Amino acid sequence: MTITQERIHAMASGFQSAKIILAANELGIFRLLAEKGLNAGEAAGALNLDAEACEMLLGALVGLKLLEHKRGRFYDAPDVKKYLGDDSDEGMSCILRHMNHLYESWGNLDAAVKKGRAKIKAPSKLLSDRNINRDFICGMFEIGYPTARKFTEEVDLTGVRKFADIGGGPAVYPIAIGKKYPDMNFVVADYPNTIKVARGYVKKYGMSKRVKLVDCPFFEIDDLRIGDGFDMALLSQVLHAAPDDKAKGLLKKVFGILRPGGKIIINENARNDDAYSPAPPLVFAINMLIQNAGRTFTVGELKGWLKEIGFRKIGARRLHERSVLVEGTKP
């Protein structure tokens, strides 16, 4: 794509429109205006906002085509209502709240690049703070469900009865896969706050009997905590948050809980083997730098680790720009 002044300007000022949509989502504007059209004063009153500032934000949202303005009233634009008007599973309000939590730390990128990673790693609020974790995990459901459906269509799961989802978050894979494979049972291992959020989804989708939720940090998984003899184990979007030695250690543990002939599948926002394409994993690597947690890998690195650990029949396929499946079989 050609770089023009227009493109540079659009990229550099992108934070402004990003913050406008994130603030509006956070303040509940899309939800409010999904129900009925209101004038600026009524919207400010309903949400307890400053009247002048609210009118300006509504105006900016009209400018960005996220709201419509007709006869003095503001309304959600039709698709905005669909995606941000409520908490439907097709919605995007959780992932936007999650991005709003990340926004502040991205403001420190230049300092982070000057100083590098802090030596002492503070515990991540994404896991420890109940509200921040809820937005993170329901955001993972919102963006994960389309990929989980694609996974179900493209991966041969014939004969898989016992499926382990390590760091399974909202249990989005068991929910998507379980619909097509009624004989499959699942174990999801994750942190306590996350497990609470997962419990809500599993119940909502009628999967409580088939999904066992285990409160277990993934570096501690073993046959005693989550069982063994699994036909398949999935690590979807988890390895990038761990230092390399811990990530490899986790893969070894997964080797231990699979039956001979069982398969591991890693789903990562991975880079191609040229290391500098496509764009999403390169940008996502910055997110991990900012959070002082992990990095992104090339597909070749992940395949190499599986080989080193003893997996065979190793392969990889790209599902889309943010998702590569790397798989191996335990001999």
226 makes contact with ligand SAM (CB under 6 A): no
Kindly tell me which residue out of 237, 291, 296, 323 binds ligand SAM, with binding defined by CB under 6 A. 237
Residues with Cβ < 8 Å from 21, sequence gap 6 or more? Answer: 61, 64, 66, 96
Contact 135, 202 (CB under 8 A): no
Beta strands in the chain (DSSP E): 67-70, 73-76, 162-166, 185-190, 211-215, 230-236, 258-268, 312-320, 323-329
Whole-number minimum distance, CB 221 to ligand SAM, in Å? 8
Q: Distance (Å, rounded) from C-alpha 212 to C-alpha 199?
A: 9
291 makes contact with ligand SAM (CB under 6 A): no
Nearer to ligand SAM, 54 or 265 (CB): 265
Rg (CA), the chain: 22
190 makes contact with ligand SAM (CB under 6 A): yes
Nearer to ligand SAM, 75 or 218 (CB): 218
169 makes contact with ligand SAM (CB under 6 A): yes
Ordered DSSP codes for 119-185: SSPPPPHHHHSHHHHHHHHHHHHHHHHHHHHHHHHHS--TT--EEEEET-TTTHHHHHHHHH-TT-E
Write the interaction track for ligand SAM spanning residues 296-325; mark x where CB under 6 A is met and - where it is not. ------------------------------
Kindly tell me which residue out of 14, 41, 159, 217 binds ligand SAM, with binding defined by CB under 6 A. 217
Nearer to ligand SAM, 40 or 226 (CB): 226
178 makes contact with ligand SAM (CB under 6 A): no
Whole-number minimum distance, CB 79 to ligand SAM, in Å? 24
57 makes contact with ligand SAM (CB under 6 A): no
* HSE-up (13 A, CA, CB side) for residue 295: 11
Whole-number minimum distance, CB 189 to ligand SAM, in Å? 6
Q: Which two tokens stand for residue 324?
A: 């590569």
**Which residues, listed in sequence order, are joined to residue 185 by a DSSP beta bridge?**
162
236 makes contact with ligand SAM (CB under 6 A): yes
Which stretch of DSSP H or E encloses residue 48? Answer: none
**Which residues, listed in sequence order, are joined to residue 69 by a DSSP beta bridge?**
74
144 makes contact with ligand SAM (CB under 6 A): yes
281 makes contact with ligand SAM (CB under 6 A): no
Kindly tell me which residue out of 94, 95, 132, 241 binds ligand SAM, with binding defined by CB under 6 A. 241
Give residues in contact with ligand SAM (CB under 6 A). 127, 137, 140, 144, 167-169, 172, 190-191, 194, 217-219, 236-238, 241
